[in-house]
């Protein structure tokens, strides 16, 4: 099977790339800036413009399954004049354009790495997010992921291309960055964390290896077709 993987240099994407190769899959890996050398079994493509069809069309030749793990994620020092519009440009418009080109190229299945933020930011006590929770995204990132999901499911109905959506919570594992890495540094330094008796909040996480294993199953399992999965 030939798989096109976007976000191949990212935290999740790089781990998924290793797993795909270990499983003997042929991979078209898409990067903004490709590595100097390609691992055996990997054809690398430079995609500097997320919304350019010419680069994507070349990468889609012969692809059976597309795993879309690239996205505009949380920006700590936001510089965009309209953050929501910028999230929509990449995460909605870019995703749906890629999905249309994939359908035209004969790609059988499109696996979309979404986010639990498509459901919202928090739940009431003892009522965690579930498969039937009505989506209520609040921030620009979550809104863009939810809108992309809706567009993909509509495209699946129109084209017959299978779509699978995964909504992970915060992912941890070797190489994790951002807030999770900062919290680990605080713990290693012995800094007391204000997470004791003052709060009874709980939060779901998912291990990188478990998320990668789920994604691998979603690339081929017939029962995953046009379904949305929460993983934690």
Active site residues: 141
d(CA 202, CA 43) in angstroms, rounded, equals 42
- Integer angstrom CA distances of residue 100 from 158, 217, 218, 219: 10, 23, 20, 18
Closest CA to 63 of 43, 47, 49, 46: 43
Residue 172 exposure: Cα atoms within 13 Å on the Cβ side: 11
Q: Is the dihedral of CA 76, 80, 83, 87 positive or negative?
A: negative
Beta carbons of 156 and 109 less than 8 angstroms apart: no
Closest CA to 120 of 112, 129, 111: 129
d(CA 115, CA 127) in angstroms, rounded, equals 18
Closest CA to 71 of 107, 103, 95: 95
d(CA 223, CA 24) in angstroms, rounded, equals 22
Residue showing tokens 């997320």? 50
């Amino acid at each position: 099977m030939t798989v096109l993987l976007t976000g191949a240099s990212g935290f999740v994407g790089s781990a998924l790339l290793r797993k795909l190769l270990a499983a003997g899959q042929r991979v078209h890996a898409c990067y903004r800036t490709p590595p100097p050398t390609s691992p055996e079994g990997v054809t690398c493509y430079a995609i500097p413009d997320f919304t350019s069809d010419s680069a994507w069309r070349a990468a889609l030749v012969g692809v059976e399954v597309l795993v879309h793990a690239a996205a505009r994620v949380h920006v700590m020092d936001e510089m965009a004049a309209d953050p929501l519009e910028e999230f929509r440009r990449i995460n909605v418009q870019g995703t749906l354009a890629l999905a249309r080109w994939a359908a035209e190229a004969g790609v059988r299945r499109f696996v979309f790495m979404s986010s639990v933020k498509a459901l919202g930011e928090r739940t009431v006590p003892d009522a965690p997010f579930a498969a039937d929770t009505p989506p209520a995204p609040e921030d620009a990132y979550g809104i863009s992921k939810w809108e992309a999901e809706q567009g993909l499911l509509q495209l699946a109905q129109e084209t017959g291309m299978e779509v699978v959506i995964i909504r992970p919570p915060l992912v941890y594992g070797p190489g994790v960055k951002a807030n999770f890495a900062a919290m680990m540094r605080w713990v290693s330094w012995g800094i007391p964390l204000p997470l004791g008796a003052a709060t009874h909040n709980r939060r779901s996480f998912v291990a990188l290896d478990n998320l990668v294993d789920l994604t691998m199953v979603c690339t081929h399992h017939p029962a995953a077709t046009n379904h949305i999965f929460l993983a934690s």
